[in-house]
Amino acid sequence: MWRCDTDNEAHIEQDYAHVGSVHYMSAPAVRRGMHIPGNIKLAIVGLGLAALLIASLIGMRIYNDVVNAPVRYAETIALAINEGRDLNLPVLNNYVDSDNNGIREAFASAGYQTIDVDALYAREGEEPDPNSIDLVKIPSDVPYDRSVELFQGNLRRVEVSDAAHFLASTWRFTTYLADGVDLKVKYAHFTSDTIEEAIAAGIAAQGWTDSTFGESGVDQSGNTYQNGTVQMDDRVLHWTVSACPLDEVYNVNGLPENSYYVGARLVQ
């Protein structure tokens, strides 16, 4: 048979005063300090430490997302650009004496994979202009069909790192040879801090640094430019290098601020 603890019962009884049928805590009981068993104290301390640890982990996660995520994002874009930089930019002077077939053959011999823009957009039965070509050199590690999709406007629909990789490996080469020499190459440029530096880099890439410089400024299209002349044998050819922010050409959010679209032109 279960029996109550009479000592404990007596202790509890001392904690109360009685007035008729009303029971209330006696003054000594109210003033008595609370005793928390040791095991309960340990549990409370453990819960407090666990809560502190969880709060610290959450704080670190938030800090990492807010502060470090943009840094990692920028590093990812920079890596994609560096990995894609097999630009192999053509030097226009080298093609002054070439016809369009010779240029195609030279690109093929160099191992360039290209999109023929005229053929891509040609209507059925339409013959290409024999005086011009429009070729886009594409990355060696991106499949042709995928490159065509990206070139046709799908850059804004892919991860910015993929777009950056594609642009860093791509240039567009056009000619019009009906009235003499007219060669152009356009490409994305990511390694200059200012548009003037991008133009200077474009001039150097074409080997025109030691040629005669002419006018510079902003043209009617809003492009910053520098022009000049270069002597080739007994001929004088006129060159222009111009640039604009890349986002004026490609609608891709997230590219570095120092991204430019550079064009070089050589005419006679």
pLDDT, block means (10 residues), the chain with 268 residues:
44 52 57 64 74 71 50 50 70 94 94 93 81 93 91 78 86 92 95 95 96 95 96 93 94 86 96
**Residues 78, 190: Cα–Cα separation, whole Å:** 9
Q: What is the dihedral of CA 105, 172, 148, 163, to 10 degrees?
A: 130
Q: Which of 120, 90, 115, 121 is nearest to 103 (CA)?
A: 90
CA angle 250, 253, 255 (to 5 degrees): 85
The tokens 């202790």 sit on which residue? 11
pLDDT of residue 70: 44
| Rounded (5°) CA angle 246-251-255 | 55
- For position 68, what pLDDT does the model report? 41
* Contact criterion met (CB below 8 Å) for 201 and 243: no
pLDDT at res. 124:
77
Rounded to whole angstroms, the Cα distance separating 141 from 84 reads: 9
The CA distance from 203 to 263, in Å, is 10
Unique residue bearing structure tokens 């957009």: 121
Question: How far apart are the C-alpha atoms of 197 and 241, rounded to whole Å?
Answer: 11
In which residue are the tokens 């950056």 written?
Answer: 164
Lookup result for tokens 């490996």: 169
Give the span between the Cα atoms of 199 and 67, in whole angstroms: 34
Tokens for 206?
Answer: 């074409």
Cα R_g (the chain), whole angstroms: 38
Strand segments, DSSP code E, in 14-85 are: 16-19, 22-25
227-254 in b/e burial notation, b at 16+ Cβ within 10 A?
A: bbebeeeeeebebbbbbbbbeeebebee
pTM passes above 0.95: no
Q: Are strands 212-218 and 224-232 parallel, antiparallel or unpaired?
A: antiparallel
pLDDT of residue 265: 98
pLDDT digits (tens, 9 = 90+) for 46-80: 777 777 778 766 766 655 444 444 444 445 555 55
| Cβ-based neighbours of 264, under 8 Å, separated by 6 or more | 92, 184, 185, 186, 202, 205, 206, 239, 240, 241
Distance CA 78, CA 64 (A): 20
